Amino acid sequence: MAVATELDDVYTYIDSHADESLEELQTLLRQPSVAAQNHGMAETAALVEDMLRSVGFEPRQIATAGYPVVYAEKPGQRDRTLGFYNHYDVQPADPLDEWHSDPWAAEVRDGRIWARGVADNKGNIAARVAGIRAWQAIRGELPIGVKFIIEGEEEISSPSLMDFAVSNPELCAADACIWEFGGRDIDGRPQIHLRLKGICYVELRATGARQDWHSSVATSVPNPAWRLVWALNAIKGEDGHVNIPGFYDSVTPPTDAEIEALRALPDHEAARLEDLGIPEFLEGRSGLELHLQDYFQPTCTVSGFESGYTGDGAKTVLPSRAKAKLDMRLVANQDPFAIHASLRAFLDERGFDDIETELLGAQYPARTSPDAPIAAVVAETYEDLYGQSPVVYATSQGSGPWYQLCSQFGIDACTAGVGHAKSQAHAPNENIYVDDFILGIKHICAIMDRFARS
C-alpha cells in the first residue's frame, strides 16, 4: 500500500535507532512502579515526564486523591487530536522465584525483553514516545495534535481517574484515543479490541473472636473463615450462577452481527488449553458457546482468600479473621455500583450482615462502535505493517477506564500495542519481542499519519 512506503524514511530512522529506543524502554522497566505497594511511584512519574520532555512535550503531573496523572500535549499540522492513554504503574512482580531473570533487570534474551510491566504497559509508553521522536526527527512537526494521559493507578482499578476526567474534561478531549494495550494473538496475527469489560472488585471481611485461639474452642466460638466460605457459596453456587439479585438484568445479548463476528474468530482452543495447562474449558464449552461466554457474559471470581494458618504443616488454630477478594468482570450495561449495593443487600438478607464489604474498584463497561474511524485507521495500518488483517474482537476480556476517559465524552478508542499472546501480563516472566517493539514504534507513526489523512 502506498501509505506504508511513504513512511520509509521514518521507518529507516526507527530501524537505525532501535538500540536507543530499546535502552530507553529498559530504563523505564528497571524503575519499579507497583501502585499496590507504593513502590517507586514518584520516581516513575518523574521518569515518564523526562521521556516526554525529551521529545519536546511540556509534561505536568496532575494531582489526584491517589497517584498523579502525567499529562502532556502538543499541537500538530492538522487541527485534530489523537489521545494516547497509558499507565506508569505495574502489577507486583511476585512470585519472584518463578521468574527466570530479575523482573526489574529488563534482560534481553532469545529476542525478547523480560520484565514486569513490559507488555502491560511500559513497552507501549516507550513505543509511543519513540514513534514521536522518529517522526519529529525526519518530518518535523507532528501531523496531528497528540496528548498523553498516563495514570499511575490502572493496576489498582483507576480509583482516581473518574474524578480526574470529570474535573478536567478539556484535558481528556480528543478526536480519538489509542488504548494502552494491544498486540498479536497466538497465531501472530494482530488483534483489535473495541470494548472493555467493566469491573466490580469487592473485599469481604469476616471477624470472629478478639484474636486467634486454640481450635479446641471451635465448639463454642464462631469461625470467620466458615462464615466467609458460606457467604461466598451463597453468592455463587456450584452451577456457576451468580445469585446477587439483578446481576444479570442489564446483560445485553449480542446482536446478529456480533454473533456473526464471533463465528468468524479464529479457533485457538487447543493452543489456549495447552497454554493454560487445563484439559478443558469450564463446563466443557467450546466454539460459539465459549465465545459467547468469554465476550458477552460477566464473571464472579474469588481472586484471593486469607484466613488462619497457611504455612507448612499443621497448626491447630481458630482464626479470628477472614478476608476474600471478589473480582466481577461486567458486560454492557451492568453498573458496578448498583451490583455492589445489591450484593450488600443480598448478604444482609441472607443473614450475613456481620460480613463487611468494601468496593475496591469499579469500572463501567464501555464500547466503541465497530465502524468508528479510528478502528479503520488502526486496522489498515496493522495490515500495512504486519502484512495481515487484524482479528477484530467486540471486547477484551479485561477491564480499564475506557468509560471514564473516552465513552463518557463520546470519544472512540481502539487498542494497539506491542504485546503477544504469551506476554504473560500480570504473571511471572512477562515479555515482549524486541521485533514487535520496533514494529510497534512504526505502527505509532503509521497511525498518526493515517489519522491525519482520514
Burial of 349 (0-12, 13-18, 19+ CB in 10 A): exposed
The distance of closest approach from Cβ of residue 315 to Zn ion in the complex, given in angstroms and rounded to an integer, is 35
Task: Name the closest residue to Zn ion (Cβ).
Answer: 120
- Whole-Å CA distances, 96 to 13, 54, 92: 37, 33, 10
**Cell digits of residue 382:** 496493522
What is the closest distance, in whole angstroms, from the C-beta atom of residue 302 to Zn ion in the complex? 19
Instruction: Supply the minimum distance, in Å, between the C-beta of residue 155 and Zn ion.
Output: 5
Give whichever of 178 and 445 is closer to Zn ion, judged by the CB atom: 178
Task: Quote the least distance from Cβ 131 to Zn ion, whole Å.
Answer: 22
Closer of 278 and 427 to Zn ion (Cβ):
427
Identify the three-state secondary structure at position 357.
strand
Which is closer to Zn ion, CB of 26 or CB of 396? 396
Give the CA radius of gyration of the chain.
Answer: 23
The rounded distance, in Å, linking the Cα atoms of 426 and 424 is 6
Q: Which residue has the cell 465476550?
A: 295
CB 106 to Zn ion: min, Å: 18
Q: Which helix (H) or strand (E) holds 12?
A: helix 8-16
Nearer to Zn ion by Cβ, of 92 and 370: the residue is: 92
Find the shortest distance in angstroms from Cβ 449 to Zn ion.
29
Amino acid (one-letter) located at 179: W
Cβ proximity to Zn ion, 122 vs 133, nearer residue:
122
CB-based contacts of 255, cutoff 8 Å, min separation 6: none
Question: How many Å apart are CA 371 and CA 389, to the nearest integer?
Answer: 16
Largest CA distance in the chain: 79
- Confirm if 145 and 73 have CB atoms less than 8 A apart: yes
The type of residue at 109 is R
Q: How far is the CB of 33 from Zn ion (least distance, A)?
A: 12
- Decide whether 143 or 400 has the Cβ nearer to Zn ion: 400
Q: How far is the CB of 227 from Zn ion (least distance, A)?
A: 32
Which lies closer to Zn ion via its Cβ, residue 1 or residue 427? 427
Cβ neighbors of 93 (< 8 A, separation 6 or more) are: 32, 34, 99, 103, 104, 116, 428
Q: Which is nearer to Zn ion, 199 or 347 (CB)?
A: 199
Phi–psi pair at 261, nearest 5 degrees: -65, -35
CA distances from 329 to 157, 246, 336 (A): 12, 15, 9
Q: Interface residues with Zn ion (CB under 5 A)? A: 120
